[in-house]
Amino acid sequence: MTSQSVACNSLSTELVQAFNQLKQEIDVCFDRFAKDGTQLEELKAFYEKLDREENRPSNYNRSKLKTSVQSFLKNCELQFASAKQVLNEVQSAQRVLEAKKAEVMLTKQRGASNTRRSTDKQNGVLRRCTLMFMLQKSAISIPLWVSISNDSAPPLCGSVPAAPDYVCSLGDLCVAKVKADDYWILAEVKAYYSAQAKYTVEDIDEEQKERHILGRKKIIPLPIFRAHPALNPEALFEVNSAVLALYPQTTCFYRGIVQRRPPGPLDSYLVAFEDSSYPTGFSPPLTVPQRYVVSQ
């Protein structure tokens, strides 16, 4: 068995384990949801009974109602924690799945190395379309941050930057400055060397696939949570903010100005990119998902 086959089998095992763990967490989440629904109905029935039978509830019934409400709120917090755990498992499964897809694509590319040039060109176009689709899918598949206790948005939620000591994980996407002339690309983390505080990253573009060793200051982690405009507006860039944003249908980040914040949790920013070919010095506003807009 080749080392490549061993790697594929290992990824397959990891994928099965990730999905099994995800199923377990979903089962726990739905079980708690069903119990909370039953408890809510009982609470409503008790409240309606008090409303019908007593103009002024007795101290006993008032205490019983308070205890029931507190118990229900506690269960809601547990339900919220279960839902967050499900989201964590979804992210884990996604990472393993992306690694599996990358391994399969690499195998196909090696097997097709002797195909005709015209076929290679067609495959290149197809790979490019697939990559753009995957990037759009990745943008909307990251979890939406929702706090049950009105906590502030955490690091890497929307516009909130990473903590100073944050280290990207293997397989994470990031913004990488690979040249001195302000050239930023979308890249995948392949390794991190803590002693040197440096990353090895790979260009996400299938046509390039270049690897770079870069210091932490040249790496910007992408958001791992979407911010809800109504619940956490502070976690979104303000209009006229200077940002780095992924130019549509490319894998490069360019400087721009936010023209409109996302109206809803699934909506995108409108960003005007710096472009000297326009009289204003900026392009017409283009849509860019939350995941691909970061601080300069």
Structure confidence at residue 118 (pLDDT): 46
Structure confidence at residue 154 (pLDDT): 93
Do residues 79 and 33 touch, judged by C-beta distance below 8 A?
yes
Structure confidence at residue 102 (pLDDT): 61
Most confident of 61-65, 103-107, 264-268, 287-291: 287-291
Answer yes or no: do 257 and 195 share one domain.
no
DSSP, collapsed to helix, strand or coil, labels residue 47 as helix
- Structural domain including 280 reads 233-295
Domain assignment present for residue 25? The answer is yes
Q: How far apart are CA 106 and CA 7, in angstroms?
A: 12
Answer yes or no: do 61 and 93 share one domain.
yes
Provide the number of structural domains found in the chain.
3
Domain assignment present for residue 158? The answer is no
Q: Is the predicted pLDDT of residue 162 greater than 90, yes or no? A: yes
Answer yes or no: do 14 and 91 share one domain.
yes
Q: How far apart are CA 96 and CA 11, in angstroms?
A: 7
Of 164, 191, 221, which residue sits at a domain end?
A: 221
Q: Which amino acid is at 151?
A: D
Q: Is the pTM of this model over 0.85?
A: no
Average pLDDT, the chain: 82
Q: How far apart are CA 35 and CA 29, in angstroms?
A: 10
Answer yes or no: do 216 and 248 share one domain.
no
The CATH code of the domain that includes 264 is: 2.30.30.140
Q: What is the pLDDT of residues 51-88, one digit of tens each?
A: 776 667 777 877 888 888 888 888 888 777 777 777 77
Answer yes or no: do 12 and 101 share one domain.
yes
Structure confidence at residue 122 (pLDDT): 53
Domain assignment present for residue 167? The answer is no
Domain assignment present for residue 123? The answer is no
Structure confidence at residue 106 (pLDDT): 58
Do residues 107 and 8 touch, judged by C-beta distance below 8 A?
yes
Answer yes or no: do 217 and 238 share one domain.
no
Answer yes or no: do 110 and 44 share one domain.
yes
Structure confidence at residue 279 (pLDDT): 94
Closest CA to 226 of 293, 137, 145, 161: 145
Residue 111: pLDDT band with limits 50, 70, 90: low
Quote the distance between the C-alpha of residue 132 and its chain's center.
16
Structure confidence at residue 116 (pLDDT): 46
| Higher-confidence position of 119 and 59 | 59
- What sign for the dihedral angle of Cα 53, 57, 59, 65? positive
Q: Which amino acid is at 24?
A: Q
Strand pairing report for 219-221 and 173-179: antiparallel
Of 95, 114, 133, which residue sits at a domain end?
A: 114
Domain assignment present for residue 94? The answer is yes
Of 196, 221, 246, which residue sits at a domain end?
A: 221
Domain assignment present for residue 124? The answer is no
- Name every residue whose Cβ is closer than 8 Å to that of residue 269 and which is 6 or more positions away in sequence: 237, 243, 245, 258, 259, 260, 261, 262, 287, 288, 289, 290, 293
Domain assignment present for residue 143? The answer is no
Please write down the HEC assignment for all residues of 232-251: CHHHCCCCCCEEEEECCCCC
Domain assignment present for residue 254? The answer is yes
Answer yes or no: do 213 and 272 share one domain.
no
Residue 175 phi/psi, 5-degree rounding, is -100, 125
Q: What is the pLDDT of residues 164-189, one digit of tens each?
A: 999 999 989 999 999 877 889 999 99
